[in-house]
Structure 1
Amino acid sequence: MSGGGGNSNVAENADPNSVVSGWVYDCGYRGTLDIVYGCVVVLVAAIWTVVHLNVPAGGESDSRIFWRRARWGLVSVTAPDFLTLVAAAQWDSAKKSVRQMKELTNSQSWSIVHAFYANGGGFVLETPDLEAFPINATSVHYLVSRGYIPLPAITREEIWDKSKADVFAKGLALLQSAWIFIQAIARTSQKLPLSPLELFTLAFVISTVMSYFFWWRKPQHVGTPTVLRCETTMSRIRADAGYPDDVLWTDTPMDFVEKSTQHWKRRSVFQNYDLERGARKMEVTELELPQWNGNQGPESLRLDTASSSIFEEPRPLWFGQRGTDEKALISPLSSRASTLVVSPKTDGKETTDDNKPETAQNEKTGNIITEIQVDTTNNKKTGAAENEEDDAITRIEEETTTNPPHTTTHTVTTWTQTPARRIPDDSIMAVRLPTKMVVLLLVPSLIHSSIHLAGWNHEFPTQAEQTMWRIAVVMLAAMSSISVGAVRVMGLLGYQGRYNLLWAWVNANADPRRSKVWDVVLGTSTFLLILARLFLIIEVCVSLRQLPAKAYVEVDWTNYIPHI
């Protein structure tokens, strides 16, 4: 049977194999709009309440925050297993933080709410030599254990008061999810088919139950962080840990603590996306300096116009590296800048060090390029630097009387960097979760795939679509098991390859000498998983153009009411 009107009474008495094409209006029973509206309301409510993002950067617009939430909502629809994995990793990290802080202070004042709040960017550290930047629970533990700051005095109630997590909204979303689950059971018992859109919605709400569980005590929609003031300079903190200023950081000066616990990192193409990094600025000015030809004149100021030098933006180092063998390293603290004096022609490379003024010997010409150090905080020089400057001035005065120089314009390049303004929402990813937690992740994933398998014999508009649906749901179940289970097993066996998560995140500790065979296998499984999900999403929408007649018949709830 076909037609846009679709009489529901006819649909109720029609042959089970008959179908209705086009838009079906409400004629006392449910129509196409009822199916779409009921599913969309459940999906939107679940997405809005299940996603718990980190604290935004100061001054971020509402539209930017909204689109960030929309992107993560899209991730939750297309890859609900991944969202649950992120939630589980954050929950596991928060539990570890509570245990570590309790061992350190023997205090009950640091709860899982505090740990979630810290890992979400709720605490920002303010030091005398650097503007405030967010730190996670690992950094808080490090600073407290070494006496740089006291244990944050904010209470769990105060944190929860800053949170805008609406328990009522979450409860309502869960009730809506329970209702569609009950409705699905009732329709199955009365042999009434579910539309593919309803199957998709049911599978989604089942897979998000674990995300609700892991994120239930994470503060949500926090707008402003808590400032932790530290009297010790960040330079001193890093130096005490064995990381002087000539060792760069990527996001914040506490990378040497925080990145040591990170197992996953973004691919380079996504590295700077929506991270609210601090600015790394370059300022280029011109400076006139005296210059002598040949080997005459003070050695400290001899420059050769034929020599070639270029200074590029310093490259950040990973957390475990030192800068002793690295070129062009500077102090990244925003209170300082490294000023480089270079010759006009640029085709080579030189080095600079923010804290140790020195000269670099040009291997080709034997001439010296002088580096001038500038402290933008107070413009004061150290005693040693001041003595060296006085000696240089004396030599210049003596030699310029017999060998007058001419002036040449040279380029001065100054680099400065400030820390990241927020902690990215994917900063904490699963490393080696406990076996029980892996089971909690795997079971909802398998249930999610099994629900789609319930549409195995569904009457799709074409035979090709039915065949593709069957292939997609089998592929979804198989690839989900590989993505969760195989990565877990390989990690336990010590595999250190460059396996990935959804192609966007890769193993940060990958060993390049390892065989890439398993990386190709896991990469292929990820591709097939994404392909299967995208097909299911498209099919649940286009299948609404033609559904079985029985799909429009409502459940007869009177059958479940006891009566005489």
Structure 2
Amino acid sequence: MADLGFKNWSIVHAFYADSGGFMLQARDSPPFPVTAKQIHYLVQKEYMHVPGITRKEIWDKSKADRFAKTVACLQTGWFIIQMIARAVQHLPITLLELSTISLITCTGATMFFWFYKPLNVEIPTILHIDISIAQILIDAGDAAREPFKDTPLDFVEPLAYTSSQLPFNHLWGMQQRPLPRIPNDRDSQLHNLQIVITTAIPTAAYGTFHLIGWNFDFPTRTEQMLWRWTCVSMGIVLGLGCAIEAAAIIWGNYTTTGLSNLNGYKLRWPTNLLFFIPGVMYFGSRMVVIVEVVVSLRALPAGCFENVEWTSSLPHI
């Protein structure tokens, strides 16, 4: 947008668009959501003006602003500091706290990527255009020749989402076309190595962080061994899975999505077993971990109820 001379278009506007914040209304089509890239195309072709909504107006629609997100980050940071202090003072850490730390790895990545993203905007902004969708498709030529799957502007950027590509998707997927909204499970495309790494590391770390509880006190020896084996299984599945996905994205020159990489093996029989079998293994391991976290609360070590002595950890005279 800046290259087109529109300096007021920001990453907030782009997030707002890619979250379904803009609905395009043409005279020959029901309204449908448009992404930031599709809006850029329409503006570039002079079919419409840049949406006049400001950043302040978008944030006013959001259910949480950057202040609320900053507070959440501070709360998370304080929790991590407490856990480090407990480890330094050799105080026990519960499995519930350890599991929470593991979740924070994914939460931190989400907060990093979504810091400028409006939250839960329910009423979209309607963009009216004078030209018909039919004329836009005619002008696009061969690029728009194929029938659309999600919206008429699929030829600019398809809104491919995961559930629509899986077998039997007609049982739960949206049946209305064009789509009345952008689904939450959009199969995104990672565009560079930095994003691939920033996504893969916290995902893989989520499973491996549970291994910190290897020598924790458990109510029984059986529960301790079950925790060890399930955490090892979860770490291996997530670690290898992330490594393979990252390699596939890089090999595909950052042009593939999660379900299309490696020639779409996840959607074809029997190669999809290479994805679903580890997936079932991970799901089973994750369920065991959740159950163990809950049942461990019945017999916590006495030290879990002791507070951190901050004065012994801080420099003083």
TM-score interval for Structure 1 and Structure 2 normalised by the shorter chain: 0.7 to 0.9
Distance 1:167 1:102, change over 3 A: closer
Alignment of 1:531 onto 2:289: no
Which residue matches 1:181?
Answer: 80
Which residue matches 1:520?
Answer: 273
Give how far 1:219 is off. 1.2
Give how far 1:550 is off. 2.1
Alignment of 1:122 onto 2:18: no
Report the Cα distance in structure 2 between the residues aligned to 1:527 and 1:214, rounded to whole angstroms.
28
- What letter is aligned with 1:538? V
Report the Cα distance in structure 1 between the residues aligned to 2:52 and 2:108, rounded to whole angstroms.
33
Alignment of 1:237-316 (within 5 A): 237-242=136-141, 248-259=147-158, 262=160, 266-270=165-169, 273=172, 275=174, 277-278=175-176
- Measured against aligned partners, the alpha-carbon deviations of 1:301-331 in whole angstroms (never above 9, x if no partner) come to xxxxxxxxxxxxxxxxxxxxxxxxxxxxxxx
Judge which range, 452-461 or 439-448, deviates more: 439-448
Report the Cα distance in structure 1 between the residues aligned to 2:57 and 2:16, rounded to whole angstroms.
11
Give how far 1:521 is off. 2.8
Which residue matches 1:485?
Answer: 243
Alignment of 1:482-561 (within 5 A): 482-494=240-252, 506-507=259-260, 510=263, 519-561=272-314
Preserved contact between residue 263 and residue 507 of structure 1 (Cα < 8 Å): no
- Measured against aligned partners, the alpha-carbon deviations of 1:8-54 in whole angstroms (never above 9, x if no partner) come to xxxxxxxxxxxxxxxxxxxxxxxxxxxxxxxxxxxxxxxxxxxxxxx
SS in 1 for 2:30: strand
- Measured against aligned partners, the alpha-carbon deviations of 1:174-203 in whole angstroms (never above 9, x if no partner) come to 222122211111111111111100101122
| Residue of structure 1 aligned with 2:214, choices 452, 456, 478 | 456
Give how far 1:147 is off. 1.9
Which residue matches 2:133?
Answer: 234
- What's the C-alpha RMSD, in Å, of the aligned pairs? 3.1
Report the Cα distance in structure 2 between the residues aligned to 1:249 and 1:126, rounded to whole angstroms.
17
Alignment of 1:37-116 (within 5 A): 101-103=1-3, 105-116=4-15
Report the Cα distance in structure 1 between the residues aligned to 2:171 and 2:34, rounded to whole angstroms.
18
Alignment of 1:142 onto 2:41: yes
Preserved contact between residue 125 and residue 135 of structure 1 (Cα < 8 Å): yes
Structure with the bigger percentage of strand: 1
Preserved contact between residue 235 and residue 244 of structure 1 (Cα < 8 Å): no
Which residue matches 1:295?
Answer: none
SS in 1 for 2:293: helix
SS in 1 for 2:2: helix
Alignment of 1:436 onto 2:194: yes
Which residue matches 2:185?
Answer: 426
Report the Cα distance in structure 1 between the residues aligned to 2:144 and 2:207, rounded to whole angstroms.
51
Aligned residues between the structures: 313
Alignment of 1:320-339 (within 5 A): none
SS in 1 for 2:33: strand
Give how far 1:146 is off. 1.9
Percent identity between the two aligned chains: 36
Which structure 1 segments of 5+ residues have no match?
1-100, 279-417
SS in 1 for 2:64: coil
Give how far 1:449 is off. 3.2
Distance 1:160 1:187, change over 3 A: same
Report the Cα distance in structure 2 between the residues aligned to 1:191 and 1:134, rounded to whole angstroms.
54
Preserved contact between residue 59 and residue 65 of structure 2 (Cα < 8 Å): no
Give how far 1:232 is off. 1.2
SS in 2 for 1:554: coil
SS in 1 for 2:126: strand
**Normalised by the size of structure 1, how large is the TM-score?**
0.50
Report the Cα distance in structure 2 between the residues aligned to 1:230 and 1:102, rounded to whole angstroms.
22
Alignment of 1:180-199 (within 5 A): 180-199=79-98
Report the Cα distance in structure 2 between the residues aligned to 1:493 and 1:245, rounded to whole angstroms.
28
Report the Cα distance in structure 1 between the residues aligned to 2:66 and 2:86, rounded to whole angstroms.
30
Preserved contact between residue 144 and residue 155 of structure 2 (Cα < 8 Å): no
Report the Cα distance in structure 2 between the residues aligned to 1:124 and 1:274, rounded to whole angstroms.
20
Report the Cα distance in structure 1 between the residues aligned to 2:35 and 2:262, rounded to whole angstroms.
21
Report the Cα distance in structure 2 between the residues aligned to 1:469 and 1:114, rounded to whole angstroms.
45
- What letter is aligned with 1:445? T
Distance 1:182 1:434, change over 3 A: same
**Normalised by the size of structure 2, how large is the TM-score?**
0.86
Preserved contact between residue 66 and residue 115 of structure 2 (Cα < 8 Å): no
Preserved contact between residue 118 and residue 135 of structure 1 (Cα < 8 Å): yes
Give how far 1:524 is off. 2.5
Give how far 1:551 is off. 2.1
Alignment of 1:132 onto 2:31: yes
Report the Cα distance in structure 2 between the residues aligned to 1:165 and 1:556, rounded to whole angstroms.
35
- Measured against aligned partners, the alpha-carbon deviations of 1:196-253 in whole angstroms (never above 9, x if no partner) come to 0010112212331111010010111222211111111122222333479996433322
| Residue of structure 1 aligned with 2:102, choices 199, 203, 208 | 203
Distance 1:172 1:133, change over 3 A: same
Q: Which has the larger radius of gyration?
A: 1
Distance 1:273 1:165, change over 3 A: farther
- Measured against aligned partners, the alpha-carbon deviations of 1:312-364 in whole angstroms (never above 9, x if no partner) come to xxxxxxxxxxxxxxxxxxxxxxxxxxxxxxxxxxxxxxxxxxxxxxxxxxxxx
Preserved contact between residue 263 and residue 509 of structure 1 (Cα < 8 Å): no
- What letter is aligned with 1:149? M
Report the Cα distance in structure 2 between the residues aligned to 1:238 and 1:437, rounded to whole angstroms.
33
Which residue matches 2:228?
Answer: 470
Report the Cα distance in structure 1 between the residues aligned to 2:18 and 2:229, rounded to whole angstroms.
40
Which structure 2 segments of 5+ residues have no match?
none
- What letter is aligned with 2:180? R
- What letter is aligned with 1:169? A
- What letter is aligned with 1:459? D
SS in 2 for 1:424: coil
